[in-house]
Amino acid sequence: MDIRSQISMVFHLDKCIGCHTCSIACKNTWTDRKGAEYMWWNNVETKPGTGYPTKWEDQKIYKGGWEKKGDFLNLKGAGKIKGIKNLFHNPNMPEMDDYYEPWTYEYSNLFDAPEGDDQPTARPISLLTGKPMDVKGGPNWDDDLSGTPDYARQDVNLNSVSQAEQEAMFQLEQMTMHYLPRICNHCLNPSCVASCPSGAIYKRGEDGIVLVNQNKCRGWRMCVTACPYKKTYYNWNTGKSEKCILCFPRLETGQTPACMHTCVGRIRYLGVMLYDADLINTVAISDDADLVSNQMEIYLDPNDPKIIEAAKKNGISDDTLEAAQKSPVYKFVKEWGLALPLHPEFRTVPNLFYVPPLLPTMGKVEDGNYHNSAKELFGGIEKTRLPISYMASLFTAGNEDTIKTVLKKLMAVRWYRRDETVGDQSKSELEVMLKEVGVDHEVADDIYRLTSLPTVKERYVIPPAHREEALEMIEDSGDVKGNTGFGFHHKPERGL
Amino acid sequence: MSWIKDLISPKTRKWEDFYRNRWQFDKVVRSTHGANCTGGCSWMIHIKNGVVVWETQALDYPIIDKNLPPYEPRGCQRGISASWYLYSPIRVKYPLVRGALLDLFRKEKDRHGDAMVAWENIQTDPEKRERYMKARGKGGFRRVTWDEALELISIANISTVKKYGPDRLVGFSPIPAMSMISYAGGSRFLQLMGGVNLSFYDWYCDLPPSFPETWGEQTDVAESADWYNAKFIAAVGSNVAQTRTPDVHYFAEARHNGTKTVVFSPDLNASGKYADEWIPIHAGQDGAFWMAVTHIILKEYHHEQKVPYFLDYVTRYTDSPFLVQIEKEDGIYKAGKLLRANKISKYKNVENGDWKFLNIDKNTGEFVCPGGSSGHRWDDRDGNWNLKYQDAEIGGDYEPLLSFIENNDETLQVEFTEFGLDKKRLRGVPVKNIKTVDGTINVTTVYDLIMAQYGVARGLEGDYPQSYKETDQSYTPAWQEIFTGIAAQNVIKFAHEWSKTAMATNGKCMIIIGAGVNHWYHCNLIYKAGTMALMLTGCIGKNGGGLNHYVGQEKAAVVDSWGHIMAGKDWQGPVRLQQGPIWHYMNSDQWRYDGHHSDYNTVPENGLSGLHTADMIVKSVRNGWMPFYPQYNKSNFDIVKDAQNAGAKTDAEIKEYLLGELKSEEILHSVVAPDEEINFPRVWFIWRGNALMSSAKGHEFFKKHYLGTHHNSIASELAKGLVNDVEWKEEAPQGKMDLIVDLNFRMDTSALYSDIVLPAASWYEKSDINSTDMHSFIHPLTAAVPPVWEAKSDWAIFREIAKATSEVAKTYFPHTMKDIVNLPLMHDSKAEISQTDVKDWSKGECEMVPGKTMHNIAFVDRDYTEIYNKFISLGRGTKNGLGAHGNSFNCADYYEDLLEDKNHLQKIKGEVYPSLKDDEEAINAILHLSSVTNGELAHRAYQNAEKRTGMPLTDISADFKNVKLNFADLQSKPQRYISSPVWSGIMANGRAYAGFTYNVERLVPWRTLTGRQHFYLDHELYIKFGENMPTYKPTPKPNVLGDLKNSVATGKAKVLNVLTPHGKWQMHTTYSDTARMLTLSRGMVPCWLSEEDAKEIGVKDNDWVEVFNDYGVYGARAIVSARIPKGVCIVYHATESTYSSPKPQVRGYERGGGHNSFTRVRLKPNLMAGGYGQFTYHFNYWGPVGVNRDSHVLVQKMDRVELG
């Protein structure tokens, strides 16, 4: 047993409003600069849709992640060996059209235009060439089902959905959508790290954050291909790849990552998970149907004295263990089984988990009028607008039972709270419902509280970073205090 | 695993400092954004190297209650983009003047050596005027010094005042609450000058007229935390997930707490995905749905089950048990007016007997005159304005009789009209035949009338529907299907769940409602329809209940002291606060393009409904229902001089003189001849808003008639021959405004078209305060950095304008002048009980009695050399006490208290005053003197309310007596304000704020005729317009609206109903032009089309399309989406023409306008009623609203696209 600690996240999609505040918080803080314009370390997608970069989920195109070959795992696309062959021509990279050409406007024209015979305006100009351009794509082009014929209808997850269901998905009265915010998954089996010819990418021991060393990176871009989530980006200005750093400078000072701090839908949770690194490979080569359940096995009970002892032996500090015990992520993922990884079939063992959305119940149009046949107050899971098969394609590598169980649990908790606060529905049916999903009143109450009432401190439980210990390895921490801020900063320089 | 790096090689990880360094910053300050978004979010602004770098939300909101989710973090994608503006290329850095005007001015000034002569020479020369007006919006800006800009402005100010009088100076700035001091700067300056503030809340159509109709209240709603207390939420015309971004988590969190949520919207929107049910209702048809819901509630829960909670609630808190006369007209019985107390012999001589109303005692069968009516409110006697079951005139307890169903003299067949299918029905209504001083009449109760109106038979004879399945009978579930497209079964299920929830929770059903409903022509009726379902199930004035309308950040929490300072009332009383919609309708000449309202407004035929809207405006102005400035076709100063020359010495004699001149039509109200030069508004200040684009309904008419520049309207003039009282000139003037001054931090469309653009400080560069109805905090705006480049705060800019104007006055206009101020009959004053009937003195129907049968006439002395001194100091008038919404309190000691602060005084002519010179001084004075931030003042206000109502109330403020907030307190942490009677919610003991809880729990009346919530609206205009009872009126069809009479499609085009809901990437136009929002959207505000419609006209996603009708054209990119229903297109409010604006082909390749290019304002005449209970004017409070959602457009592909 090799116990390690990992900062992990839960995004509650039922609460997500797709506002993109997270994306801008991240951009303002990290990627508001030349070469990084098109980088959206945090982005939000509308589902169904093709996302950013477009069709990123389709590994037939991009060859990201791992593939299982018998008992072995291979990088699907750019491995170190394959990569070297393709060093100067990597065929599986997203191109500018898959991202977009960043642009601004000729705002100065509004101030400087001499008097003319019509109103001046600011036309779009390319941030790459400085010339007028026709805007044809952006990082969120299919927002709120924009351009359904070209985007939502091309969603690769629809491959798992029957033709009849697909038709319903695009009939106005039966359709639905939801949002999918994405950051780097800081995977346990990160294909980006494995793909890097320079060894510039690493996973931090103390918290599991995956970073691209800006000094070591040589801009091979193998990681861009290898990451199936397309969460590493190439900075065309510095010649280095960059990615979400989970705001480690904020985490190290006890603050949540910027995207989480600013999440106004209050959908995000962050906490420590203890896991057994010896099991990573076992999980990653599981059969599709078992990927999620096996991944759950890798996470360990932070209250179990045996685990605590083993963790301590591995150098995990007391306060990290305490944080793990309070981790909201552990509760959602492991205790309650409500949060699922995104596309586990990429086999990178991601550490960002999603509570799937509860969507409106089905209705349809007959004789020109909208009908809704649901008898119950809240409607049934079976009639959810978004096909279970679609959700299974996103979160369980096709396992529909897991999705159903999660949705039923969420509904049971709602019925429980209805009973507590109104009491106008059948109590016996409620008990049957709770029993079916194995949730007692106390757990239902806990789920409700962490879903509806959590304060910022309950949503984000950040382990102390003990920076003084890290600094001490290089110089006297008292000297660090005295010298902080002095000296010249060097930004990463392009070149091999 | 090789990629897990422990801290074994710390040196190789030293590079991590790269990102650590980026994160570091020097300072953090608290500020917020003034964007009329209702967000009012607390933000922490980060500064590094002297530059604002980014912002994140504050997390330190106090927890209201442990069982309510916390507010943190508030703030959305738009707010977090604000820092972009500070150093962006769209930033206004220096004062700018249009070159064409500047050259003329400089040349004339050089020639004559006198700035005033220079200005007058330009203004009296039509060619020169045309020269610079035509240049408006066409580029050619020049940077000038502040001094030169101020000179031009102050010369124009004094020239205009001198020649025409001060009511030709106007200002537009929206929604004070978003940055109250910045608003107050301009309004204080204008009001001290005698100028005019234009309203905004009604103009935007954000004011819900049904609020004053039902409750006598502008708007008073629950803070968003209270959504969590609801157990059933219907979101109607309100895309909360998109527009209430910082609040909507309460919606989701409520769901997980067992709340049922249903969203109504024609398109599948972000909220539709967020709810238990999304019901795709036909656009604008929500009223029909709610009429049917109410039909079911009345039938099943009132008539059949008689749910005690519901019946008790409507008896106590609504006008249900009040008596209504049934009148015979041409042999047909119709519902008439509420029965007045003085019609009955025993109350014949009571004070204000026309304004007191009657119940019948259930036990004795006797008439009772309950307290709480508007008559009791304005009685000389105190203590009877309450909702107790007591006879306020002769004393004694009673129990109101709700219905005559079991206790009547006869059943009369009364006529009811259903406008949807245009059917009249005779239905049995139980009546009593009662003796009045005028003889025997028939009366029924409001409740019985409502039962009949909704078609609930109750065993009575007449044309009642017999089942829910009847399609041609009023308000059945099957009837509503025709309009809404929602199957009857859905309505029934909804009504059952709704009612059962309200029964189980005593009123925790809530409607969240918004612009998606309020922007329709019949918005008042649609709102009323939903409100009925709430009132009949006891859901108003309850935590977790209510009609929660969130459109516009209208709640300036410190309205009492702020209103006083912003209007300069500390120096002088009468103010010119103009109802915006009628002003723009008349002055921008949109009335000329309007045919008869009955073409699109379904009304019964009669004399009042037969008036053209413009004529009704004239009537409303003459009668004192609505204000109108400019006032007369002569300068007020000249009228006074003429009166004095004619021998008038006192104000009373001047008034007599004026009345004589009006009667003989020697002097005319400006409103009757808006196209005469003498009546033009002249100088227009625009600040904090986009008056010429997002706030310009009829944008192209603004460009044509206000600005005199290019426009894209091809609309025909239709009013000729339809107007009688308004003068028709064959040629409409173009270019009425002499000077347009815009204060701005960004080059928006208004700035682009203004003559002078002044660089304003952004929200991170000034001190200000912000509040909203979405939460109960007052947030500060704080200067994270000083105003950049040459920017100044709005307060400072107007202070400088005041200073320059006072200086100019010393030379050119040093005399003290007497100004006449016309004042409409005012809400919350005794004028509420002035006009029982509609009578027009100008038609000889009544005498001219100012303040009674017509507007009031007041006098103010104006010394223009003193404007600056008054601006910077708080006048003694403050010592007379403050108040709002009919409440008042004494604060003379707190004024004295301010004088103790020696560091913040102004010494003027030997007298000492509290200083208002700096923004922060104004803020601290406001906080010091407001009853919501000073606990002692709240206590005094409750004491006064106790006296008036005779109810114990001061206990509410007991816990808050020591509260006293100042600006530094607001900066340190989000501060919740306290309960005060100026607002109708009670906030004590960790409660979320919910409107009208004060009324329900403390039996304090609403400010309506009966003091109760009104089902029945008996104003003559409402009866004559068929809106005295809740009803449904059909949405006007494109052919009757006449939007497309002259427009010709040049390609494959389609007529669509254009919807303009609030967008995702903007707050109005603010933020829409930021790189962030443009990158995350489609680079502009697109036109959303359904897949079907797009296919029909050959449009693919991202193609350029032109969206046009007779009024104008907007060029946009198309978004084709399956989530849009056929027959509508969506152009999210609001667009700018400053970026990505092509030259559409249909109007000859001229630059297109924006979303307001295809609007023209249409006003509902019955909303102009005045001097009658809740139908009495107040600024932004009562009057017709600028509806815009009924518009139709043609959409077609653009073949040639010119963006440059």
- For residues B448 and B466, give the distance between their C-alpha atoms in angstroms, rounded to a whole number: 18
Does some domain include residue A112?
Answer: no
Is A89 among the domain residues? yes
Token pair in block for residue A24: 């801008």
Range A147-161 average pLDDT: 97
- CA-CA-CA-CA torsion for A36, A37, A38, A40, nearest 10 degrees? 80
Domain count, chain A: 2
Minimum-distance CB partner of A15 among B83, B252, B263: B252
- pLDDT of res. B6: 66
On average, the pLDDT of chain A sits at 94
Q: Which helix (H) or strand (E) holds B802?
A: helix B794-812
DSSP for B469-507? T-SSSTT-HHHHHHHH-B-HHHHHHHHHHHHHHHHHHTS
Q: Is residue A40 part of a domain?
A: yes
Q: What are phi and psi of B712, to 5 degrees?
A: -120, 25
pLDDT at A87 over 60: no
With respect to residue A278, please indicate whether it lies within any of the assigned structural domains.
no
A225 contacts chain B (CB < 8 A):
no
Mean pLDDT over all residues of chain B? 97
Residues A391 and A244 in one domain: no
Question: How close is the nearest chain B Cα to the Cα of A448, in Å?
Answer: 6
Residues from chain B that touch A187, judged by Cβ atoms under 8 A, are none
Higher-pLDDT residue of A78 and A257 is A257
User: In this structure, is residue A306 part of a structural domain?
Assistant: no
Low-confidence spans in chain B with pLDDT less than 70: 1-3, 6-8
Q: Does A453 touch chain B (CB under 8 A)?
A: yes
Tell me the CATH number at A226: 3.30.70.20
Q: Is the pLDDT of residue A177 over 70?
A: yes
Is A466 an 8 Å CB contact of chain B? no
Whole-number pLDDT of residue A316: 95
Q: Which two tokens stand for residue A399?
A: 């396992």
Taking only residues 209 to 238 of chain B, the set having a beta carbon closer than 8 angstroms to any beta carbon of chain A reads 228, 231
What is the structure's pLDDT at A360? 86
Among A107, A110, A473, beta carbon nearest to B7? A473
Q: Give the residue from A205, A229, A251 where a domain finishes.
A: A251
Amino acid at position B75, single letter: G
pLDDT value, residue B984:
97
Please give the Cα distance from B564 to B371 (Å, whole number): 31
* Cβ <8 Å between B1081 and A138: yes
Specify the pTM.
0.97
> Which of B728, B629, B638 is closest to B682 using CA atoms?
B629
Predicted pLDDT at A86: 58
Report the gap between the CA of B74 and the closest CA in chain A (Å). 6
Residue A217 resides in a domain: yes
Contact A27 B1076 (CB under 8 A): yes
Q: So what's the pLDDT on residue B1141?
A: 96
The answer to whether A103 contacts B18, with C-beta atoms less than 8 Å apart, is no
The ipTM is 0.97
**Residue in chain B lying closest to A111 (CA):** B141
Quick one: which of B723, B688, B776 has its CA closest to B977? B776
Cβ of residue A390 closer than 8 Å to a chain B Cβ: no
B268 touches chain A (CB under 8 A): yes
Measured between CA atoms, the residue of chain A closest to residue B249 is A265
Residue A247 and residue A362 in one domain: no
User: Is B1099 in the A-facing interface, judged by CB distances under 8 Å?
Assistant: no
Instruction: Please state at what angle helix A441-452 crosses helix A400-421, rounded to 10 degrees.
Output: 90
pLDDT of residue B655: 98
Q: Do A371 and B1150 touch (CB under 8 A)?
A: no
- The Cα B1048–Cα B61 span in angstroms is 56
Cβ-based neighbours of B764, under 8 Å, separated by 6 or more: B31, B45, B52, B55, B82, B83, B86, B781, B782, B783, B784, B785
Task: Inform me whether the C-beta atom of residue B786 falls under 8 Å from chain A C-beta atoms.
Answer: no
Judge whether residue A387 has pLDDT over 50: yes
Residues A26 and A144 in one domain: yes
CB pairs under 8 A between A and B: 378
Looking at the structure, do residues A245 and A362 belong to the same domain, yes or no?
Answer: no
Q: Judge whether A76 is closer than 8 Å to chain B, CB to CB.
A: no
pLDDT at B4: 72
**Whole-number Cα distances in Å, A245 to A183, A215, A251:** 9, 15, 10
Q: d(Cα A41, Cα A184) in Å, to the nearest integer?
A: 7
For residue A464, being part of any structural domain is answered with no
Q: Is the same domain home to A162 and A37?
A: yes
Q: What is the pLDDT of residue A379?
A: 86
Parent domain of A399 = 356-454
Q: What is the pLDDT of residue B1?
A: 47
Q: Please give, rounded to a whole number of angstroms, the shortest distance from the CA of B502 to a CA of chain A.
A: 10
Give the span between the Cα atoms of B1101 and A150, in whole angstroms.
8
Minimum-distance CB partner of B139 among A114, A175, A421: A114
Q: Are B197 and B190 in contact (CB under 8 A)?
A: yes
What separation in angstroms does the CA of A196 have from each of A220, A314, B1? 8, 27, 14
Establish if A327 belongs to a structural domain.
no
Residue of A23, A37, A111 best to disrupt the B interface, most CBs of B under 10 A = A111
Q: Which of A251, A278, A297 represents a domain boundary (last residue)?
A: A251
Of B258, B747, B1078, the CB nearest to A418: B258
Torsions phi, psi for B768 (to 5 deg): -165, 180
Same domain for A246 and A365, yes or no, is: no
> Do A162 and A30 reside in the same domain of the chain?
yes
Q: What is the pLDDT of residue B9?
A: 77
Q: Does B471 contact chain A (CB < 8 Å)?
A: no
Q: Tell me the two tokens of residue A456.
A: 């910022």
First to last CA, chain A: 39
pLDDT by residue (tens digit) across A12-56?
999 999 999 999 999 999 999 999 999 999 999 999 999 999 999
- Which of these three, A230, A251, A272, is where a domain ends? A251
Residue A380 has pLDDT above 90, yes or no: no
How far is Cα B414 from Cα B416, in angstroms, rounded to an integer?
7
Q: What is the pLDDT of residue A81?
A: 57
* pLDDT of A385 over the 90 cut: no
Contact yes or no for A261 and B59 at CB 8 A: yes
* A17 with B18: Cβ contact below 8 A: no
Q: Would you call B1064 an interface residue with chain A, using a CB distance cutoff of 8 Å? A: yes
CATH number for the domain harbouring residue A377: 1.10.3650.10
Tell which B residues from 671 to 710 touch A, by Cβ distance under 8 Å: 710
What is the structure's pLDDT at A366? 87
Distance from CA of A305 to the nearest CA of B (A): 24
Q: What is the pLDDT of residue A493?
A: 74
